[in-house]
Chain A
Amino acid sequence: MSADFSLNTKETTPASASGPRIPGSTLGRIGLGALVPLLVLVLWQSATSLGWVTSAQLPSPTSVYSAAVDLIGRGELGTHIGISTQRVLVGFAIGAVLGLGFGALVGLSRLADALLGPTIGAIRAVPSLAWVPLLILWMKIGEDSKITLIAIGAFFPVFTTVYLALRHVDKNLIEAGRAFGLKGIKLLTTIQLPAVVPAIFSGLRLALAQAWLFLVAAELIASSMGLGFLLTDSQNNGRIDRLILAIILLAVIGKATDALVGLAERWAVRRWA
């Protein structure tokens, strides 16, 4: 599962590769980025209206749209989106805070590394879905089990990036700090923490992508609300229009939250690196 998140991070590096010039303005970039989705929409519309596919395989964009309107009218869509977003944010927050804490501890202290490093590594080696039965057994099919799973998913990217970044803070800078009389907390706040700020933000970004991934896993398996539930429910009822709606919503909301963290990340890199 953990390989998937790399897809969402492509946007971090501004497209500076050689080749045709791309528009420098934000508006131009957005326009360019919207091109492919629009093309897909056109292709989709033609495929359905020209009868290349049956509506049982792929419903038309308009029927997906009316499915959305229908669900909004019943007040269900808002609930699904709301509960899913809430789960992601709460799980992400818990996982990120724990990841920061443990990453800092294990990254800074040789003792903590020797003590905790192997255990954390072993836990990370467990494929994430393997936790699901255990979590359900322990916490029942409530919010707790889902949020725990999402927190596990968000924990590791933050933990790993913070830990590795702290380990690789330029030894020369630390020595320079020590030479000018910094030690302990002062050394930490003056040199080590600022040096890893950009890494923390890229860790958070990966963690957010992981959180969405784990949300769907959790909701697919056991839930009565949320976008993941909308997926299974639509599959069981043969509502392919709703199924596609759920996928599109996941893409849009996931991308939107990622863009927000991406903004913070870019600010952090400019400020701290």
Chain B
Amino acid sequence: MTSTLDHPTFVAPTSVSSNALRVTFQGVGRSFGGREVLHDVDLEVTPGEVVAILGPSGCGKSTLLRSVSGLDQPSAGQVLIDGTAVNGLDTRCAVAFQEPRLLPWKSVTNNVSLGLPAGTDRTTGAARIAELLELVELDAYSDLRPREISGGMAQRVSLARALARRPGVLLLDEPFGALDALTRLKMQDLLLDIHSAYPTTVLLVTHDVDEALQLADRIVVLGRPDGATAATVTQLLTVPGSRPRNRNDESLGRMRSSLLASLGVDAHRH
């Protein structure tokens, strides 16, 4: 572990909207049938911050994210959103899953409207959906069904659905994992645009170090300390510079090598 392990003081983004919420992990642990997967995860995410979660496959990234949305309950510790403990499904969150998970019998528009908070009135909802579809560049495809659009488009619909909630916390579980390299870069830029238009707290699980460096204010690395069976936070890095970042920046390059090394990859071969 060669990098900044000490908790940095984080400078909040300038334009934080009122509904971006603080997320606090307090000693979060999760076991499945006696097998401990996560152990004592402590983390404080400030409102409006973008935090990327990196870690080897199977270390519990999705599980950690699910504990924020309330789709899963930790077996130890707790997650607080805006100071109140998550207990059951939390409607302050919105999730974009690794797969788009769209309803095949609904049009793009109606899939996005599934994300609207309960009780949104018709005109407000319709206006918001139209705006979001424009933002993800799908306004021309609003009447198509999921099987009539490409994988990358479906992923954008899924993102729009999550955004329709105007969530206090946006949870993205490898949202661009299934995309080709080019579409992925476009989607990353899109996410940054969206984040500056609607600043919200974002937790982004990814296995792509460059994606984390490009998008995040801070990067959390989950891993198993030597001898441990359960994963915990092994590194917490503040990414230097403000977005959009130059992908070829030297300090990013050093951070990239150190991240790859901590993930068990020899950076010189890449």
A186 → chain B closest CB, angstroms: 9
With A175-B71, A181-B89, A271-B105 as contacts: A190 and B97 at CB distance below 8 Å: no
28 A–B contacts, CB within 8 A, in A order: A172-B97, A173-B101, A175-B71, A175-B97, A176-B95, A176-B97, A176-B101, A177-B114, A178-B71, A179-B69, A179-B71, A179-B89, A179-B93, A179-B94, A179-B95, A180-B94, A180-B115, A181-B89, A181-B118, A182-B114, A190-B103, A190-B114, A191-B103, A195-B105, A197-B105, A271-B105, A272-B104, A272-B105
Contact B91 A181 (CB under 8 A): yes
Interface size class of B (residues with CB under 8 A): 10 to 19
A254 at the interface (CB under 8 A from B): no
Contact A172 B99 (CB under 8 A): yes
A186-B211 Cα distance, complex, nearest whole Å: 37
B173 → chain A closest CB, angstroms: 11
Contact A181 B99 (CB under 8 A): no
Residues 152 to 199 of chain A near chain B (Cβ within 8 Å)? 172-173, 175-183, 190-191, 194-195, 197
CB closest residue in chain A, given B111: A176
B165 at the interface (CB under 8 A from A): yes
A197-B114 Cα distance, complex, nearest whole Å: 19
Known: A175-B101, A180-B114. 4 other contacts (CB 8 A): A172-B101, A177-B114, A179-B89, A197-B105
Instruction: Enumerate chain B residues within 8 angstroms of A271, measured Cβ to Cβ.
Output: 105
Which of A172, A177, A273 sits near B105, CB closer than 8 Å? A273
CB closest residue in chain A, given B89: A178
Residues 92 to 127 of chain B near chain A (Cβ within 8 Å)? 93-95, 97, 99, 101, 103-105, 114-115, 117-118
- Per-residue interface assignment for chain B, residues 76 to 93, with 1 indicating a CB less than 8 Å from any chain A CB and 0 otherwise: 000000000000010101
B39 at the interface (CB under 8 A from A): no
B164 → chain A closest CB, angstroms: 9
Instruction: Enumerate chain A residues within 8 angstroms of B117, measured Cβ to Cβ.
Output: 181
B161 at the interface (CB under 8 A from A): yes
CB closest residue in chain A, given B105: A272
CB closest residue in chain A, given B91: A181
Instruction: Enumerate chain B residues within 8 angstroms of A273, measured Cβ to Cβ.
Output: 104-105
CB closest residue in chain A, given B70: A179
A178-B95 Cα distance, complex, nearest whole Å: 11
A142 → chain B closest CB, angstroms: 44
Size of chain A's interface in residues, with CB distance under 8 A?
A: 19
Contact B103 A173 (CB under 8 A): yes
A190-B117 Cα distance, complex, nearest whole Å: 15
A195 → chain B closest CB, angstroms: 8
A192-B105 Cα distance, complex, nearest whole Å: 12
Contact A180 B165 (CB under 8 A): yes
CB closest residue in chain A, given B101: A176
Which of B71, B97, B101, B103 sits near A194, CB closer than 8 Å? B103
Instruction: Enumerate chain B residues within 8 angstroms of A181, measured Cβ to Cβ.
Output: 89, 91, 117-118
A175 → chain B closest CB, angstroms: 6
A179-B96 Cα distance, complex, nearest whole Å: 10
Instruction: Enumerate chain A residues within 8 angstroms of B161, measured Cβ to Cβ.
Output: 180
CB closest residue in chain A, given B171: A179
A176-B101 Cα distance, complex, nearest whole Å: 7
A182-B93 Cα distance, complex, nearest whole Å: 14
A175-B69 Cα distance, complex, nearest whole Å: 11
CB closest residue in chain A, given B106: A194
Name which of A175, A176, A190 has the most chain B CB atoms within 10 A of its CB: A176
- Per-residue interface assignment for chain A, residues 102 to 140, with 1 indicating a CB less than 8 Å from any chain B CB and 0 otherwise: 000000000000000000000000000000000000000
Residues 201 to 254 of chain B near chain A (Cβ within 8 Å)? none
A178-B71 Cα distance, complex, nearest whole Å: 8
A195-B118 Cα distance, complex, nearest whole Å: 22
A273-B89 Cα distance, complex, nearest whole Å: 28
Instruction: Enumerate chain B residues within 8 angstroms of A173, measured Cβ to Cβ.
Output: 101, 103
CB closest residue in chain B, given A179: B95
Instruction: Enumerate chain B residues within 8 angstroms of A195, measured Cβ to Cβ.
Output: 105
Instruction: Enumerate chain A residues within 8 angstroms of B97, measured Cβ to Cβ.
Output: 172, 175-176, 179
A181-B118 Cα distance, complex, nearest whole Å: 8
